[in-house]
Each structure stands twice: as C-alpha cells, then as structure tokens.
Amino acid sequence: MLEKLKALEEEARAAVDAAADLEELKGLKVRYLGKKGELTALLRGLGSVPAEERPLIGKEANDLRQKLEQMIDRKESRLKDAGKSGQWEKERIDVTLPGLPTVLGQRHPLTLVLDEIKDIFYGLGFQVAHGPDIETDFYNFEALNIPADHPARDMQDSFYINPGLLLRTHTSPVQIRAMEKRAPQLPVRVIAPGKVYRRDDDATHSPMFHQVEGLAIDKNITFADLKGTLLLFAREMFGSGQKIRLRPSFFPFTEPSAEVDISCIMCGGDGCRTCSDTGWLEILGSGMVHPRVLEVAGYNPKEVTGYAFGMGVERIAMLKYGIGDLRLFFSNDLRFLKQFS
C-alpha cells in the first residue's frame, strides 16, 4: 500500500510539473484529489490492509493529500503570473539606480570627538562645566600659579583684549571657577570642554583650537587615581587594548606633573612614522593640583588633594580619524565635512 502511495506521488508530481495551462491543472486536481480521484480510489483498498497498519497508512495518505494540494496551488500561481508576463515587464524597475537620497547632514568631527569625550566622563561620574572664552588675567594665569613675568604670559603668545582681559589660552581657568563655585564642599569632579586661543598660526598650530580640562578634588585623591582615570579614558576612546605611559613633566598648576602617552594607535606600539618609532603618542598633560591653586580656589591643601588633566581635542580627532592636517578643521570644506557621515 505504501509503495502505491509513493508511486502515486511520483506520478502526480510529474504530471503537475508538465501541466501547460490552468485548464490542464484543473483536470489534474480532479484526477488525483477529486471525490472520484485516484487517491480516494486507492484509499478504498484500505480495508484489505491489516488493522495494525491502518493508522500509519491513513496518516501517509493524508500527508500526500496536503502535499498534492500545495503542489497544485503553487503551480497555479506560477501559471497565473506567466499569463500576465507583459504587465510584469512593464512594471520592471532598474534595481541598480541610486536610492532616494536621505537628506542627512553631520556634526563637525571636533564635535563628534567632544561629544564622545563628554559621554565617557559622564559615565565616570564627572559633571561638565563651562567658562568664558574671554577670561581675566587672574583666572587664566594668576590663580593657576603663573605669576606676572612668567614666560607663559608673554604678550606674543596670547591674544589680549586689554592688560587685564585676554582670550583664554587653555581651559584650565574653568578649574578655578568650578572649585570656587563648590568650595568647601567635596567632591569636585568636572570636565570643561571649550575653545582656547594662542598666538600661533602654522601647519601644526591654529590660533583657535579646543581643549578638554578635567579636575577631581576630594579628601583622598591620589596620583594612582589619576593614572586609573586616564587609562580608562584611553581605553574607552581608543580601544580596550590601550596602554598608557606617564612621564614626569612640568606645568605651573600641577605638582607632580605628567605627560601622558598612549600606545600608538597606528602600529600598536611596534613603532612607525606617526609615533616617530617610539610606539607611543603624547595625548595629554596632567598632574596633582598644585597646593597654591587649591588654596586660591578655597580648599585647604593640607586636607584635600586633587588631580587635573588637559587634552587637545584636535589632536585626538586627528589620531582617531587619521587626519593629517590641522587646518582642515577650520576650513569647513564640505568635501572634508561630508567624510564624517
């Protein structure tokens, strides 16, 4: 009996495949599945099958009925489509034509990097603070332990408005403003992104650029904490395999001070042109807040400590996106801006 069912399936499949039009297909449906069709006829012979085999045969026959119905339905829609081939052809599209343009602009690459930096430090529990671009001599220099007659205060290096006001040369004055606002409460954890200005204009300097300052003040902030924070930042910014290296350095407003290098993102530390074969790239300056700075801002340096760091946003963007020329950032050339979509 099973063999007969199998043979019927084979036969019906061949016949349906060969059917040339809907009329013929209709005939096949009647012939195989109709009340007087072959399947029904076959099942009439079920009585001669031993009783224990009957359920199995019944199930097989039922499956076959469904199979044949589907087969015939599919063939039917194919035959119908074929009948309308002229219309389909008229409706044909050229799938290689460009898609409907989505109008989407893009942030400036520096904004992209700034947003990324902010997001990383929001995640680390930092607040974002702002200060004015036109700053007083006091906040820009004096409060940061850069006394009058210090070389950094040379007229030739800064844009002055008058002897007491200038375009800030770094975002560090926001440290002082942030501490003054909060002292004597603890902790202080802020970053201060913004524009800064220096009297430099050549292939590697722009008279205006961007920095992000960071500051943490509390009862027991350590140099080790600074290291940990910066390592975390480097990994969030440049990838989890990043290493950092601190080298002693000098800034008037930190003591001890450190330059911070990250492992070269071009060569991974093996040495290449970008890192002058050192395997390291300098990305920021940092240190423990100088006691005089703490004092000026209203904290007792015997009781609290803090760290501070400052980074150049252009430098990070150049590394991150592989941009070779600083001046592109302020050319606002659309051919450049469109690359960050």
Partner 1 sequence: MRVPYSWLLEFINPGLSPEELADRFTMSGVEVGAVEPFGQSMPGVVVGRVVSMEAHPGRSNLVLVKIDSGSEIFDIVCGARNMKPGDLVPLAKPGSELPGGRRIETATIYGALSRGMICSAHELGLELGAEDEILILNGNMALGTEVDRALGFDDMILHLEITPNRADCLSLLGVAYETAALTGAEVKMPPLDLIESGGAIDEALSISVTAPDLCSRYTARVVTGVKIGPSPLWMQLRLLKAGIRPISNIVDITNYVMWEFGQPQHAFDLGLVKNSRVIVRRGENKETLVTLDGVERKLDREVLVIADPEKPVGLAGVMGGENTEITSATEEVLIEAAVFDSPNTRRTARRYNLPSEASQRFEKGVNPEAVLWSQDRAAKLMSELAGGTILKGVIDIKSAHPEPARIKVDPRRVNRILGLEIPAPEIESIMDRLAFTVEKSDDQCLNVTVPARRADIQIEEDIVEEVARLHGYDKIPITLPEGALLENRESASDQVQRLTRDVITAAGFYECITYSFINPAGLDSLRLPDEDWRRHPIPVQNPFSEEQAVMRTTLLPGMLKTVRHNLSYRELDQALFEVGAVFKPLRLPLEELPDEQVKLAMAVTGQAPAPNWLTPSRDADFFTIKGALETLLNRFQVAGVEYEPRTLPFSHPTRSAVILADGEELGYICQVHPEVAAAWEIDQAVTVAEIDLQMIVSKASLVPRYVPLPRYPAANRDIAIVVTRDIPAEKLKKAIIEAGGEITGEVGLFDLYEGKQIPEGKRSLAFSITFRREEGTLTETEINAAMQKIEAALSALGAEMRR
Using CB under 8 A, which residues numbered 5 to 64 contact partner 1? none
- For partner 1, the closer CB: 43 or 120: 120
Report the nearest approach of partner 1 to the CB of residue 87 (Å): 23
Structural contact between residues 242 and 325, judged by C-beta atoms closer than 8 angstroms = no
CA distance 280 to 268: 9
From the list Zn ion, partner 1, none, pick the one residue 128 interacts with, judged by a Cβ distance below 5 to 8 Å according to partner type: partner 1
- For Zn ion, the closer CB: 124 or 272: 272
Using CB under 8 A, which residues numbered 83 to 122 contact partner 1? 97-98, 100-101, 103-108, 110-111, 115, 118, 122
CA distance 208 to 264: 26
CA distance 25 to 19: 6
CA distance 268 to 275: 10
Report the nearest approach of partner 1 to the CB of residue 197 (Å): 7
Structural contact between residues 211 and 196, judged by C-beta atoms closer than 8 angstroms = yes
Counting every residue written for the chain, the total comes to: 341
According to DSSP, the β-strands at 280-289 and 254-263 are antiparallel
Tell me how many degrees the CA angle 261-267-270 measures, rounded to the nearest 5.
80
Binding-site size for partner 1 (CB under 8 A) equals 81
- For partner 1, the closer CB: 31 or 243: 243
Q: Which of 32, 126, 233, 309 binds partner 1 (CB under 8 A)?
A: 126
Using CB under 8 A, which residues numbered 215 to 234 contact partner 1? 216, 218-225, 227-229, 231-232
332 forms part of the interface with partner 1 (CB under 8 A): yes
Using CB under 8 A, which residues numbered 155 to 214 contact partner 1? 155-156, 159-162, 165, 167, 186-187, 189, 195, 197, 199, 201, 207-208
CA distance 11 to 19: 12
